[in-house]
Amino acid sequence: MANNQKYIERAKLALEHLHNCGAVHSATAPVHEVFRGQTVWEGDVEVFDLKGHPKAKLAYAWSHLDGAKDERTRFVAVLEIPPVVSAETAVRAQIVKDTKQARKARGKRA
């Protein structure tokens, strides 16, 4: 599917840019993250083998809508460095990071 290949290429470029290494797509992993009975994230995570990264051999990448009105697409790329050991733990780690950053930003505005 051409659109899927285009998406994977965009995720690959974002990953390579964010982490300054080469990447080769190896798999797509569906993730459904639930917290307190509510879905907090659901989608496909692209798995990449890394080339030239000093600490990680794998990385996970995906995108989601971002901005005050979901007006832009944000690509996320997380390295497989413990505690990140799977697509699921990559999503969890990013949710925690984003939540902390949002709380910090709200604190600065108050």
Q: Which domain holds residue 76?
A: 2-109
Burial class (CB in 10 A: 0-12, 13-18, 19+), 72: exposed
Beta strands in 1-110 (DSSP E): 22-35, 38-51, 58-66, 72-79
> What is the rounded CA–CA span in Å between residue 38 and residue 107?
26
Q: What is the pTM of this model?
A: 0.88
Task: Dig out the tokens for 62 from the structure.
Answer: 């995906």
Query: What does the block give as tokens for 63?
Result: 């995108």
CA dist., res. 44 & res. 19, Å (int) = 20
Number of domains, the chain: 1
Q: What is the pLDDT along the chain (110 residues), one digit of tens a residue?
A: 456 999 999 999 999 999 999 999 999 999 999 989 999 999 999 999 999 999 999 999 999 888 778 888 899 999 999 999 999 999 999 999 988 988 888 776 55
